[in-house]
Chain A
Amino acid sequence: MDLNFTPEELAFRDTVRDWVEANLPKDISHKVRNSMRLSREDQQAWQKILGKKGWLTYNWPTQFGGPGWNAVQKHLFEEACARAAAPRILPFGPVMVAPVIMAFGNAEQHKRFLPGIASGEVWWSQGYSEPGSGSDLASLKTRAERRGDKYIVNGQKTWTTLGQYGEWIFCLVRTSTDGKPQTGISFLLVDMKSPGITVRPIITMDGEHEVNEVFFDNVEVPAENLIGEENKGWTYAKYLLAHERTNIADVNRAKRELERVKRIARAEGLWDDLRFRDQIALLEVDIVALEMMVLRVLSAEKSGKQSLDVAGLLKIRGSEIQQRYSELMMLAGGPCTWPYLAEAMEGGWQGDLAIDAALLPLAGFYFNQRKTTIYGGSNEVQRNIVAQTVLG
């Protein structure tokens, strides 16, 4: 047992930290650090910088052009990015669909789709949730009917994150209604420029346009865009979820956000208010405990000696902590978070208010974080999964 990273791991950490800090544009990290709006250009600029270095595919094996890093190295890279306040790597391409294409796609699909994901050139979206299928995802109804060498897709997806920029979307579609709901689902890649696709914004309570509805009206999709076998899509989707690992806890970002909580508390004269500071202290303990749990998982992955089935716990705890730090920031700002100015979400905005620009995004940030305990399998669904391990 040893808490410390090896000298090799520490050297690796320094290398990735130095590189990220040297290559991340400062105007972008300023926005991330203050929960300001990121444009499509901001998002893609960073993904392309990473793509050029070969690190956008940081979780890919070497045979597909990834760096072949182990679990600890991936964690250290994620930590370096979070620490420097880089925009999060949009997971839809490199983290979600790529491993599925690698594992279940054919050679032609590898050649066609993986390079655009690796370079950050092609924007991918996720087509999972539907209006009637949230936590109960397998009940999805979007139909794909095979006609000759095409599928005809009809239905609706929703909560499509940043789908307004999407060029391709990977969808779970129903290809059969026989048997259990899970057995009639297929995994289909769809060009979002196809006729019959309409993307409509959903404005969330923070006033922002982050998620969308995507409508499919007789959309023709070439049959060669099917991944693997028809009606096996649920298996692939589960494989994808297994690939999300520890990063769902987002503990590296939590460490950075805790520093922001402290900064804001100091600026607002709350540091000497023991009632408030003790709440920060409690959050600090929560974050250290979460980080220890993440490190335990990484160690288990590295050695292969123990199996640690705590993904559900990591999701629950990580999301609660995300909500908590946004809540403490909002409370620290108090009434100074009330002004609602859409332009204050733009980086570099100073305005003519008596209130610091850093306080204005905090209410919206708090509102936005309510999603974390709902998405990715709601925390109640996660509790069902955890309970299964305790009670059978």
Chain B
Amino acid sequence: MDFDFSDEQEQLRDAVRRWVDKGFGFERRHALAKAGGQTREVLGELNELGLAGLVVPEAHGGMGFGAVEAMVVMEELGRGLVNAPYAQAALVAPTLLSGAPAAVQEAWLPKIAGGEALVVLAHQERRSRYALSRVATRAVESGGGWKLSGTKVVVPAGDEADAFVVPARIAGAEADAAGIGLFLVERGAAGMSVRSYPTQDGARAADVVLADTPATLLQREGHALLEQAADVAIAAGCAEAVGLMDKLLAITAEYMQQRKQFGVPLATFQALRHRAADVKMQVELGRSMSYYASLKLGEPADERRRALSQAKVQLGNSMRFVGQQCIQMHGGIGVTDEYVASHYFKRLTVLETSFGDTLHHLGEVSARMTDEAGVFA
């Protein structure tokens, strides 16, 4: 049992933090968001730090790092409010491709690791909410290949991606876990249309409509791998949230020390001091469960799913409380667009509803409870 970071992990953290401090200030972020949220150039800069291939196996040109390194990077990207879909591109996509035939992996993983290809998961449908098994998009085999038809919504970086990993139903009813295939669809494939839009958190997404669109089969029964990829995304979101909350609390504390009302700094009022203590509590509980999430990613599916849902419940509650209270403690300035705090709040809000909100995951924990409980149960 050891929660220290290695020297190598600390260096990784420093590298990302230095890039944020030098290259990704709030003004740049604000301008990127105002311009529509396209962030391919930001991903390019992260790639120059070598981050695109962070978890891609060395055999495919990556660094072959694990969940803890991913967590370290995500914490720092959160701290810097970096609005690029790094987790999607560098953590989730390689997980999904790990189940693909060797030739497909060889074709795509080196390009992902080199930052040349942006591949994102397009799994959400209008009626799916958070159920990964609810897939209405159909896959039909024809002439030795596959064609997909259906609509995926709020696909991150939908108009910048080079390819999408698309869950589509090969067999079974709409909510069956069995019969869901994972497919790769390249940008510009026949019958594909993309309607893109900016999102509330300063990024960009798209609805992707497929009509008899040709696709490459990655895995025929893909639900288990999809769950694993979702868990990777949840752990990444938890870590990002820790960075966001840490920084937002620091910004808030600084403001409370400077801002005076009734002749004294806000930081002297006990009502606000106790609130700050409650916020600190949620940050530390969140950090604890973010560690837990990343460290449980390698466990067998049942244990992993339960742990990640437990983590998302804690982080979901933490994100909402910390975000709301830090805005409140600022007072009026907190609700403005020009000041940084509201942008942290909005990103936290979007993260809470990513890959299952708090109530969804509470239901998962509730359904998966056994007699014993605890970190090692």
User: A316 at the A/B interface (Cβ < 8 Å)?
Assistant: yes
Which one, A1, A3, A293, A384, contacts B5 given CB within 8 A? Answer: A1
Chain B residues, Cβ within 8 Å of A384? 270, 273-274, 277
Binds A, one of B86-94, B147-155, B202-210, B362-370: B362-370
| Residue ID in chain A nearest B249 by CB atoms | A390
Q: Is the CB–CB distance between A387 and B313 below 8 Å?
A: no
CB distance from A289 to the nearest CB of B (A): 5
Q: How far is the CA of A296 from the CA of B1 in the complex (A)?
A: 9
B residues less than 8 Å from A316 (CB atoms): 277, 281
B291 at the interface (CB under 8 A from A): yes
Choose from A258, A285, A306, A391 the contact partner of B273 (Cβ within 8 Å).
A391
Residues of the B chain whose Cβ atoms lie less than 8 Å from the Cβ of A63 = none
B330 at the interface (CB under 8 A from A): no
- Which of B68, B273, B278 has the largest count of A CB atoms less than 10 A from its CB? B273
Output the residue of B256, B267, B369 with the most chain A CB within 10 A.
B369
- Contact present for A306 and B4 (CB under 8 Å): yes
* A9, A288, A312 interface centre (most CB from chain B within 10 Å): A288
On chain A, the residues within 8 Å of B291 by CB distance are 1, 3, 292, 296
A172 at the interface (CB under 8 A from B): no
Stretch at the interface among A22-30, A297-305, A369-377: A297-305
Which of A119-127, A161-169, A205-213, A274-282 faces chain B?
Answer: A274-282
Q: Does B12 contact A (CB under 8 A)?
A: no
Which of chain B's residues have a CB closer than 8 A to the CB of A380?
274
- Tell me how far the C-beta of B140 lies from the nearest C-beta in chain A, rounded to whole angstroms: 38
A160 to chain B, nearest CB (A): 30
Interface 9-mer from B21-29, B54-62, B282-290:
B282-290
Q: Is B169 an interface residue (CB 8 A)?
A: no
B134 at the interface (CB under 8 A from A): no
Q: Are A277 and B366 in contact (CB under 8 A)?
A: yes
Q: Report the contact-size class of chain B (Cβ under 8 Å from the partner).
A: 35 or more
The answer to whether A310 and B366 have CB atoms under 8 Å apart is no
Closest residue on chain B to residue A391 by CB atoms: B267
Residues of chain A lying within 8 A (CB to CB) of residue B365: 281-282, 284-285
Residue B262 at the chain A interface, CB threshold 8 Å: no
The answer to whether the Cβ of B300 comes within 8 Å of any Cβ in the partner chain is no
Using a CB-CB cutoff of 8 Å, which residues 333-375 of chain B contact chain A? 362-363, 365-366, 369, 371-375
Q: Is B302 interfacial (CB 8 A cutoff)? A: no
| Bound complex: CA A126 to CA B9 (Å) | 46
Asked if B296 lies at the interface with its beta carbon under 8 angstroms from chain A, I say yes
Give bound CA distance, A317 to B98, whole Å: 41
Docked CA distance A281–B253 (Å): 33
CA distance A126 to B371 in the complex (A): 37
Q: Is A313 at the interface (CB under 8 A from chain B)?
A: yes
Are B284 and A288 touching (Cβ within 8 A)? no
Roughly how many angstroms separate A19 CA and B125 CA in the complex, as a whole number? Answer: 56
Which one, A1, A286, A291, A313, contacts B280 given CB within 8 A? A313
Does chain A have a CB within 8 A of B130?
no
A273 to chain B, nearest CB (A): 11
Q: Which residue of B lies closest to A263 (CB)?
A: B371
Query: Taking CB as reference atom, which chain A residue is nearest B359?
Result: A278
CA distance A259 to B377 in the complex (A): 12
Answer yes or no: A389 CB below 8 A from chain B CBs: yes
Q: Which of A262, A285, A299, A317 is B4 in contact with, Cβ under 8 Å?
A: A299
B288 and A299 form a contact (CB under 8 A): no
Within 8 A of A (CB), among B117-167: none
Q: Are A386 and B280 in contact (CB under 8 A)?
A: yes
Q: Say yes or no: is A255 at the interface (Cβ < 8 Å to chain B).
A: yes
Q: Is the CB of A299 within 8 A of B374?
A: no
- Any A CB within 8 A of the CB of B276: yes
B310 an interface residue at 8 Å Cβ cutoff? Answer: yes
In the bound complex, residues from chain A placing their C-beta under 8 Å from that of B274 are 380, 383-384, 387
- Whether B276 pairs with A1 at a CB distance below 8 angstroms is no
Tell me which residues across on chain A come within 8 A of B197, comparing CB atoms.
none
How distant is A72 from chain B, measured CB to nearest CB, in Å? 7
Task: Please encode chain B, from 287 to 316, with 1 for each CB lying within 8 Å of some chain A CB and 0 for all others.
Answer: 011011001100000000000001001100
CB-CB under 8 A from A80, the residues of chain B are none
Inter-chain contacts of B41 with A (CB < 8 A):
none
Known: A292-B291, A310-B284, A383-B274. A3 touches B1 (CB 8 A): yes
Q: Which residue from chain A places its CB closest to the CB of B288 in the assembled complex?
A: A292
**Chain B residues with CB below 8 A from A310, complex form:** 284
Given known contacts A383-B273, A390-B253, A288 and B2 CB-to-CB distance under 8 angstroms: no
Verify B3–A300 contact, CB threshold 8 A: yes
Residues of B within 8 A of A392 (CB): 257, 267
Q: Which of A72, A300, A317 contacts B281 (CB 8 A)?
A: A317
Please, how many angstroms separate the alpha-carbon atoms of A119 and B278 in the complex?
A: 42
A96 near B: Cβ within 8 Å?
Answer: no
Complex interface residues of chain A between 238 and 278 (CB less than 8 A to chain B): 255, 258-259, 262-263, 274, 277-278
Q: Is the CB of A386 within 8 A of B281?
A: yes
B156: min CB distance to chain A, Å: 27
Interface string of B1-24 (1 = CB under 8 A from A): 111111001000000000000000
Contact B310 A288 (CB under 8 A): yes
| Minimum C-beta distance from B183 to chain A (A) | 35
One digit per residue, 1 when the CB lies within 8 angstroms of any chain B CB and 0 when it does not, for chain A 305-330 equals 11000101100110000000000000
Q: Contact: B280 with A284, CB < 8 Å? A: no
| Complex Cα–Cα for A280 and B9 (A) | 37
Contacts of B313 in A (CB 8 A): 281-282, 285
Contact partners of A296 in chain B: CB under 8 A: 3, 288, 291
User: A343-382, CB under 8 A of B: which get 1 and which 0?
Assistant: 0000000000000000000000000000000000000101
A263 to B68, CA, bound (A): 36
A274–chain B nearest beta-carbon distance, Å:
7
Q: State the A residues within 8 Å of B (CB).
A: 1-6, 9, 72, 255, 258-259, 262-263, 274, 277-278, 280-282, 284-293, 295-296, 298-300, 302-303, 305-306, 310, 312-313, 316-317, 380, 382-384, 386-387, 389-392
- Residue pairs across A and B with Cβ atoms less than 8 A apart, 12 shown, are A255-B377, A259-B371, A274-B363, A286-B314, A288-B374, A288-B375, A289-B285, A289-B288, A289-B289, A296-B3, A296-B288, A296-B291
Binding site for A on B (CB under 8 A): 1-6, 9, 68, 249, 253, 256-257, 267, 270, 273-274, 276-281, 284-285, 288-289, 291-292, 295-296, 310, 313-314, 362-363, 365-366, 369, 371-375, 377
Other 6 A-B pairs with CB < 8 A, given A280-B366, A282-B362, A384-B273: A3-B291, A263-B371, A278-B363, A300-B3, A387-B280, A391-B276
Which 10 pairs, one residue from A and one from B, show the smallest C-beta to C-beta distance?
Answer: A292-B288, A387-B273, A281-B366, A386-B277, A383-B277, A3-B295, A299-B3, A281-B365, A391-B267, A383-B274
